[in-house]
Amino acid sequence: MDRSQPAVVVEDIHRSFGSLKAVDGVSFSIDHGRVVGFVGANGAGKTTTMRIMATLDSPGSGRVCIGGHNVVHHPAKVRRLLGWMPDSFGTYEHMTVLEYLDFYARALGFKGADRLRRIQEVMDFTDLTPLADRMSNKMSKGQTQRLCLGRALLHDPQILILDEPAAGLDPKARVELKNLIRILAQEGKTILISSHILSELGEMCDSLLFIDKGRIVHHGDAESMVRGTETADETLVHVQIAGEPVRLIEWALTAPMIKIEEETKRGARLRIQSVDEATLAGVLRRMIQDGLPVLDYHREERRLEDAFIDMLGQIDKNTFKAPPPGGVLPKNTEDAK
């Protein structure tokens, strides 16, 4: 694979299902060894884009190259470079974990002892060896996802496309999966991963792609996303007081420049119409002067989820301005606008 070119290049792809435009001019590229999160609401076009990249669907127009090979013209070459893990997959009935992996290893061309060695490596990596004789359709969701990841890794692909791998997993299984992906990233694999759990994506990924209504709306790292959707003249602070929180609420209702964002068990989240640190300190001083027993007063960091929801709202109102991208080549035409 030519490492001087990006591992993945997606150029202005469109895909419609009847009158529905599932993907509408998506463009981006991913360098080798990067871990990129793919974020979007249900029906935003994530899975369709990923399926096109995985040669399982074809674009109505546009071009997708994986490792320098066009997915339409050279699907076989692309498939050799690619590991694909779908959002939901059925395991086969009446087939053990070992037989399941054995089948895919055969299908990928592994023979004899080589096949067993590769299956052994994959099962050890995904910690499936103790489950070798378990029926593949009788496993927990976490085990099934590990099996699916193992299948995707059998031919040691350099590029992995993981569609919602953590969906439906319990916290323990999610941590296990995250660790596996982290190891794969350390091995230098290029990974495109979609998920609804944005905080985890923020931790795992070098950069994030945000898609909405079939268009890429932001392409950059998590921080630039949070900064980009921040309202410039407001700050969110979390306040906790001793005793009844109703005192704080009553105080906030009469205080200037302060709005109550949310009441909490021991206080409230307040939106202060200023970002000036002296003003924020002045608000705390006034609280104490007015006799509020303040236990905790801190500025809240915006969560990625909040930023994403704010961004969708801003897009609906046509007020969204894409922040400058960070980390990944700015290929998206929407970003340029």
Partner 1 sequence: MNTTLPMLHDFSDRFSPIVVKELRQGLRTRFFTSSLILFHTIIILLLVTVTFDAPVEMVNGIFWGVAGFMLLVVMPLRGFSALHTEATDGTLDMLTLTSIASFRILYGKWVALYSQALLVAGSILPYMVARYFFGGVEILREIVALVMLALGSGVITAALLAFSSQAPVLLRIFLALCVGAGAVPLGFFTAFLVSASQADSLVREFFALDHWEQFSIVGGILALVVYVVYYFLALGASRIAPPSENHSTLKRLIALAVHGALMVTGLLLCFLNSQPEVAMWAYIPLMVLTLIVCMDVLTEEMPRYSTALEVLARHGRFGRLAGRLLYPGWASGVVFSAVLCVMALSIMAGITWRSSSWDWDDGPSLYMVCMFLAVFVPVIVRLNRTNTFVNWWVVQLCSVILGIMMTMFCLSMNARDLGVLGMFTPITALFGLNCVNYSSRQDILHLSCIFSTMWLIAAMVRAATSFSTYTTLEHEALDQARQVTPRANDPA
Q: Which residues bind partner 1 (CB under 8 A)?
A: 1-3, 18, 51, 54-56, 58, 60, 67-69, 72-77, 79-82, 84, 86, 88-90, 92-95, 98-99, 102-104, 106-108, 111-112, 115-116, 119-120, 123-124, 129-130, 132, 151
Distance CA 180, CA 162 (A): 12
Complex with partner 1: residue 95 or 309, whichever CB lies closer = 95
- Minimum distance from CB of 247 to partner 1 (Å)? 56
User: Closest approach of Cβ 137 to partner 1, in Å?
Assistant: 10
2 vs 276 by CB, closer to partner 1: 2
Of residues 79 and 219, the one with the C-beta less far from partner 1: 79
Scan for tokens 């992995």, then name that residue.
160
The nearer residue to partner 1, 157 or 228, going by C-beta atoms, is: 157
Give me the DSSP letters along 73-107: T-HHHHHHHEEEE-SS-PPPTT-BHHHHHHHHHHH
* Least distance between partner 1 and beta carbon 220 (Å): 29
d(C-alpha 250, C-alpha 261), whole Å: 14
| Contact yes or no for 322/335 (Cβ under 8 A) | yes
At 84, give phi and psi (nearest 5°).
-125, 130
Q: By C-beta, is 91 or 314 nearer to partner 1?
A: 91
The torsion angles phi and psi of 266, rounded to 5 degrees, stand at -120, 15
Structure tokens at 81: 């470079």
Q: Is 59 exposed, middle or buried (0-12, 13-18, 19+ CB in 10 A)?
A: buried
Nearest-approach distance from CB 165 to partner 1, in angstroms = 14
b/e sequence 269-295, b meaning 16+ C-beta within 10 Å: ebbbeeeeeeebeebeeebeeeebeee
Closest contact distance (angstroms) between CB of 337 and partner 1 is 29
Strand partners, 86: none
CB of 179 to partner 1, least distance (A): 17
Closer CB to partner 1, 125 or 306, in the complex: 125
Q: Shortest approach of partner 1 to residue 229 CB, angstroms?
A: 35
Cα separation, 224 vs 321, in Å, equals 12
* SS3 (DSSP) at 10: strand
Shortest Å, Cβ 193 to partner 1: 17
Q: How far apart are CA 204 and CA 83, in angstroms?
A: 18
Q: Which of 88/231 has CB closer to partner 1?
A: 88
The residue among 76 and 232 lying less far from partner 1, judged by its C-beta, is 76
Task: Tally the residues of the chain.
Answer: 337
Closest residue by Cα to residue 333 from 219, 223, 228, 222 = 219
